[in-house]
Amino acid sequence: MKIKDDLIYDLIFSEKVGYRIDISDYLDDIYLYEEFISEIKKVLKKSKVSIVKSSVLVDSKTAIWELKVKK
């Protein structure tokens, strides 16, 4: 399992703008992905990082969150 705080740090301070995040790396139960995404969005909003594009691809084994941010 990866640490969610590392992901948040990367989303806020990295020079990257496009991300493809495998939510199963951060959660045991991938069906809680909506709560995970909501939590990350709240932190980004407080950090004045806006999400330009966001989509979630869900299958039986994983959920992939593709997003583009503007810093």
pLDDT digits (tens, 9 = 90+) for 24-48: 999 988 889 999 999 999 999 999 9
Coil/strand/helix, residue 12: helix
Residue 60 — pLDDT band, cuts 50, 70, 90? confident
pLDDT value of residue 61: 86
Over residues 55-69, the mean pLDDT reads 93
Q: What is the DSSP letter of 52?
A: E
φ, ψ for residue 50 (rounded to 5)?
Answer: -100, 145
What's this model's pTM, rounded to 2 decimal places?
A: 0.87
Residue (of 7, 3, 1, 19) closest to 47 by Cα position: 7
Cα angle 57-27-7, degrees, rounded to a multiple of 5: 80
pLDDT value of residue 71: 87
pLDDT value of residue 2: 84
